[in-house]
Amino acid sequence: MSAFHYAFKVKDIESTRKFYMELLGCQEGRSTETWIDFNFFGNQLSAHISTDFPALDYCGKVDGVSVPIPHFGCLLGKAEFERIQQKLEEEKIDFIVKPQVRYKGKTGEQLTMFVFDFSGNPIEFKSFLNADELFLDN
Render pLDDT for 35-60 as a digit per residue (tens, 0 to 9). 999 999 999 999 999 999 999 999 99
Q: What is the pLDDT of residues 66-98, one digit of tens each?
A: 999 999 999 999 999 999 999 999 999 999 999
- What count of other Cβ atoms lies within 10 Å of the Cβ of residue 62? 12
Angle at 21 between CA 69 and CA 51, to 5 degrees: 50
In angstroms, the CA 91 to CA 104 distance is 28
Query: Taking the model in full, what pTM does it have?
Result: 0.93
Angle, vertex CA 102, rays to CA 69 and CA 122, nearest 5: 25
User: How far lies 66's CA from each of 28, 40, 59, 81, in Å?
Assistant: 32, 25, 7, 21
